[in-house]
Amino acid sequence: MNTELLEAARDLIPGLRDRSGRCEAERRVPPETVADLIACGLTRMTQPKKFGGRELAWHSLCEVIAELAKGCASTAWVCAVFNEFNHRVANLPMAAQEEVWGENDTALICSGNGPAAISTEVEGGYRLTGEFQFSSGCDHADWHVLTARQKDGSNPRFHLIPGKDRTILDDWRVYGMAGTGSKSLRVEDVFVPRHRTALTREWGNHYDAPMYRMPQFSANGFVLAAVCIGAATGALDELCRGMRERSSRFGEKIASFQSLQLRIAESAAELDAAKRIMREDLAASAAYLEENPELSRELMAVNKRDMAFGTILARRAVDRLFYAAGAQALFLDGALQQQFRDVHAGAAQLVLNWDINASVYGKLALGVDLGPVRW
């Protein structure tokens, strides 16, 4: 574990708590928070060392993200996205990496997924048109990695475009994770040179660190589960702080109520279990990749199952804590209701879906044909 980065994340928590209401109201991470993340090196944890990054192991990345989420889930989510797409760019051709990081080694990279967007091959590259949803952190992005179908029907392709080539659509009005600013993007007939594209299944193999061979849907998704786990842990901390000195209307110390003690203990156990599962799965994946070019299906199936299950544990924990807090938790100026909403919103991410991920594991365990799987 990189204790320097973990301590940096921990030091930011009070400021993140103070700005969390503003982050939600403005529907984007405040610029000064982004500046803090950059200054602490937290946006460069997965960037290659060649360009000044840390090449942090994925399980260590997830611990840092979970720590940030104690202060503000939306900020942690956006920081996770910045790091996930550093990882994605590190697998694109080296010419693309030089273009992104050669002049600005702290460039911020976000995503965009366009199921109906079309990429057309032309001389020297591709022309890209369409709308791309859920671009978390897009207000701050210097570059975007956009996924689109190819017009000829072949496999989807990543397209790296500069921020100037997209228009942000202000359509992110949601009940949780509002501060992620996960708005849609519009791209109109933008030329993307070939060196800034790759098939979604291609790996660059530019770097030796195992983390660059971690698959998107069966390992990297843990970083979003980490946000849910961290936010629920923040809710646990918030409830404990609020209940230590609180008294009932009859003058009894609420902290003496066994029902509250039991709910706190059970939620804490669930969150500790979720963190251990996440850390052990990712450490096992990294160890496997030290000796093998790619993860086995068995390990990927376990990862898919556990990133979804860890999110379920976080959701159960925060539900129990919210119930235990009673009517005091309902006020919109309190942290607990926001953490409750953010955990539920984060758990809605497709890569964390229990039904999809658990069925893959179950099929593999039973020897049933897996069909198409997003590994």
pLDDT in tens, 332-359: 888 999 999 999 999 999 999 999 999 9
Residue of 168, 119, 181 lying closest to 147 (CA atoms): 119
Instruction: Tell me the per-residue pLDDT of 140-172, one tens digit each, with 9 for 90 and over.
Output: 999 999 999 888 777 889 999 999 999 999 999
In percent, the amount of the chain with pLDDT more than 90 equals 86
Chain mean pLDDT for the chain: 95
Residue of 229, 65, 37, 238 lying closest to 140 (CA atoms): 37
Average of per-residue pLDDT across 74-81:
98
CB atoms within 10 A of CB 165: 17
Residue 294 has pLDDT above 90, yes or no: yes
Q: What DSSP character marks residue 372?
A: S
Displacement of CA 345 from its chain's centroid (Å): 12
Instruction: Tell me the per-residue pLDDT of 189-214, one tens digit each, with 9 for 90 and over.
Output: 999 999 999 987 777 789 999 999 99
β-strands 125-135, 183-193 pairing? antiparallel
**So what's the pLDDT on residue 243?**
86
**So what's the pLDDT on residue 256?**
86
Two structure tokens written together for 217: 């849907």
Confidence of residue 120 (pLDDT cuts 50, 70, 90): very high
Average of per-residue pLDDT across 74-97:
97
Two structure tokens written together for 359: 């069925």
Structural domain 210-366, CATH architecture: Up-down Bundle (1.20)
In order of 10, 17, 25, 122, the CA distances from 21 in angstroms are 19, 8, 6, 46
Domain with CATH 2.40.110.10 in the chain: 109-199
- 353/307 Cα distance (integer angstroms): 9
- 4/154 Cα distance (integer angstroms): 44
Confidence of residue 112 (pLDDT cuts 50, 70, 90): confident
Two structure tokens written together for 136: 């978390």
In percent, the amount of the chain with pLDDT more than 70 equals 100
Residue 1 has pLDDT above 70, yes or no: no
CATH 2.40.110.10, applies to 109-199:
yes
Two structure tokens written together for 5: 């980065």
Domain with CATH 1.20.140.10 in the chain: 210-366
Give phi and psi for 70, each to the nearest 5: -60, -30
Displacement of CA 334 from its chain's centroid (Å): 24
Question: Which residue's structure tokens are 């109520």?
Answer: 257
Residue 17: CA count within 13 A, CB half-sphere: 16
**So what's the pLDDT on residue 344?**
98
Structural domain 3-101, CATH architecture: Orthogonal Bundle (1.10)
Instruction: Tell me the per-residue pLDDT of 231-266, one tens digit each, with 9 for 90 and over.
Output: 999 999 999 998 888 877 777 888 889 999 999 999
Helix, strand, coil tally for the chain in percent (to 5) = 60, 15, 25
Confidence of residue 279 (pLDDT cuts 50, 70, 90): very high
**So what's the pLDDT on residue 187?**
97
